[in-house]
Each structure stands twice: as structure tokens, then as C-alpha cells.
Structure 1
Amino acid sequence: MDGWNSPPNLVTYSRIILVLVFLGFDIAAGPWGADNLPFRWTAAVLFIIAAATDKLDGWMARTYDQVTEMGKLMDPIADKLLILATLVVASVFNEVFWWVTALFFIREIGITVMRFFVIDHGGKVIAASKAGKYKTLAQCVGLAMLLVPLGSLAGPGEQPGWAVFYGYATQAVIFVALALCLYSGGVYVAGVLANRRGQAVSGR
């Protein structure tokens, strides 16, 4: 719990609150913003702000030498809350396949449980790998593209070529994020197992 109230961690807590506000607008907007288009635009903006501030707390922690174990733990949890909640709502609205959301969910929850397991057994939290950071970036870009209702700029009932291309590009980014998600999860598990083996050898 050391450093729980440091400025970078307070930013992380603020991001969690922002996620809850975002979800309220996203759910109220309905599928593709059909129930309330302004709410969908608002949800998209809030999502982008919440995703962008992920870099802010990390930058503050490194710049002002305020990196803490609490921050290493809470920062990815805030990311996962934003991403997974968005995916669940999108799947409920039939905007993302449920199997895609399920794979994201299994990986993210599994890694989070493993992080707590490492802490509970006296180990230190393993920071996110480069693959994990690229995964988060791809997730944020893909879901931001999904949330922005650009199709509403076309006329009623119209499906222009650019809108079709945008839809395919959005799904492609989300699938890239899924691939990075599974790969980075494997890298994390391998790192934890390697550390455990190292501890066992040093304890002989």
C-alpha cells in the first residue's frame, strides 16, 4: 500500500471513476447510438480521454520517481476495467462477437489473478511488457474507432464505401489487439514461471 495516495495513483483512481461515467453514456446511447446519438459521441470522447490518461499517470510516476507497487497493480486494472467493460457492452449490442470478448476476458482476468498470486507469495508485480503495451494501444484504438459513430454522418439508410471500409478497418484493429493480447499473456506467464524457477534454484 506504500504510495497509494501519490499523484500518479490519484490519476489512476480518477480514470476508474471516468470509466463508470463513460459506461453510463455508452449504455444509454444503445447499439451504434440508435437510442441517443449525442450520448454515443459523448461516450466515445470519454473513452478516448480515459484511454489517453493512461500515459499521464505512467509518465508522472517515471518523471517524478513515484513508481510504486500499488501503481504497477492498479494501472493495468484500470486499463482492464475500461477495455473489458467496453467489450461487454459492445457484445451485448452485437457490435463485437461474444467469442472475441470472451478471449479478451479470459486472458485479462487470468493475468490479473496471477498478479495477485505473485504478490500474495512475496513476489514483485511484473510490469507490462512491450507486447502488452502494444496490445493496450491496439485495444484502445480499435474500441475508440468502434465507439465513434461515423456512420451517422451518412444519410439515413445509406452505406457509403468509406463507411464500409471504416467498419472493416475497425474489426481488423480489434483482431490485431486480440492476437497481441494472447501473445503478451503467454509472455507474462512465461516470465512468472521463469521467476519462480529462479527463486526455487536460489533457495536450494
Structure 2
Amino acid sequence: MNLANKITIVRILFIPLFIMLFPIYPDWLIEKSTLVQHLQSYGIYYASIVFILASITDKLDGYIARKYNQITNLGKLLDPLADKLLVTSALILLVNQHFIYAWIAFVMIGREVVITYIRVVASSHKIALQADRFGKIKMVLQVVAIAAVMLKNRPFSYFTQVPIDQILMYAAVIVTLYSGYNYIKNNYRILKFDS
């Protein structure tokens, strides 16, 4: 396994840590542990740091794969899977804490389910589909929007009362829908196999 793929695996391993730091602890546990009380108050910030670090590794593994010619079919499958797991985990936790509406998560996760299905079908025919330009823009926008929502509109709230975090989230929904449409349109012929 090459370095780029190892970094992708590290991103996947960040996900359980992100979930554990996110403050969703039951009351009985909060009352019994000072550590959990601390995490209940500040865990969202720790979780945000882990989320951002994990997201940065997405750029790092892609850079290494291209620079050192380490692009593999495994990497083409693992990299988007790691992104989907990270973003999906964050969206579910944000809905659980009422930071975003459930329909936002439904749209974003639904898009990922459809695209993953297309990739699985392509993979069964020995075709590895890569993310396109709009898919990459979508990922960056989702990461920025999720981080801003987790940080409760910081640092934007220091300069303006405009809910930039929510605006970013709605923009991410629009780009998510468009990127899904564009991906299906561009790969339709590839996936139209003879029965």
C-alpha cells in the first residue's frame, strides 16, 4: 500500500475520534465524569479541529498521489469513500443536535448514495470512476459549511451578524445537487452496459 492510500486510511481512522469528541453525551454520563463535562462544553471545538484536519488529508493524499504517480484503483475507491464517511458522520451529528435541518443531510447523503451506487456498478465492470471538478468543489464547500456550522458561525460572527454558516450550507446543497446531476450525465454512457 502506497503513502497516498495510507493517508486516506488515516482519514478514515479520524472519523471515530471525531464522533467521540462531538458532544452527544447522555446526562447520566455528564454528571459522573469531569472529562465528559469538559467535552460537553468544548468537544464541538475539538471535533471541529479533527474534522478540519481529516479534510486537509484529502488534499494531501491527492497531491502525493499525483506528484509521485501513486494513483491506484484502490485509491480511486478509498478516497471518495473516506470523504463520504466523514461528511455523512458530520451531517448526522449536526442533525441530531439541531444545527441543521434533516432535509439538508438527506439531500447531501442521498447524492452520495446514488454516486456510490454508480461507482460500485462501474467497479463491477472493471471501471474506476474518479471525482470530477464539480465533485471536488462540492467537497470543499461541504467541509467549509460543516466546519462553520459546528463552530457556530465563527469566525464570521466576529465581523457580521449575517449567518454565513447557513448561507454556506445552502450553497453546499445547491452545488451537491448540481455535481450529482453532472456526474450522472457525464458517466451515463459508460454505465449503459449491454444486458
Task: State TM-score, norm by structure 2.
Answer: 0.85
CA–CA distance in 2 between the matches of 1:84 and 1:96?
Answer: 13
Is residue 148 from structure 1 mapped to residue 151 from structure 2 by the alignment? yes
The answer to whether the 8 Å contact 1:150/1:163 transfers is no
Q: Structure 1, unaligned stretches of length 5 or more?
A: 154-159
Q: Which residue of 2 aligns with 1:156?
A: none
Identity score, percent = 28
Q: Which residue of 2 aligns with 1:103?
A: 107
Per-residue CA deviation, residues 14-35 of structure 1 (Å, 9 max, x unaligned), is: 00111110111014479xx997
Alignment RMSD (CA, Å): 2.4
Task: State TM-score, norm by structure 1.
Answer: 0.82
Is residue 175 from structure 1 mapped to residue 179 from structure 2 by the alignment? no
Q: Structure 2, unaligned stretches of length 5 or more?
A: 27-36
Is residue 17 from structure 1 mapped to residue 20 from structure 2 by the alignment? no
Q: Which residue of 2 aligns with 1:119?
A: 123
CA–CA distance in 1 between the matches of 2:145 and 2:175?
Answer: 13
The answer to whether the 8 Å contact 2:122/2:191 transfers is no
Per-residue CA deviation, residues 146-169 of structure 1 (Å, 9 max, x unaligned), is: 112467x9xxxxxx885742xx21
The answer to whether the 8 Å contact 2:108/2:173 transfers is yes
The answer to whether the 8 Å contact 1:91/1:101 transfers is yes
- Paired residue for 1:42, among 41, 46, 54? 46
Is residue 193 from structure 1 mapped to residue 188 from structure 2 by the alignment? yes
Per-residue CA deviation, residues 17-56 of structure 1 (Å, 9 max, x unaligned), is: 11110111014479xx997222111111111101111100
The answer to whether the 8 Å contact 2:23/2:40 transfers is no
Closer/same/farther in 2, CA of residues 71 and 185 from structure 1, 3 Å limit: same
Residue 4 of structure 2 aligns to which amino acid in structure 1?
A: P
Q: Which residue of 2 aligns with 1:79?
A: 83
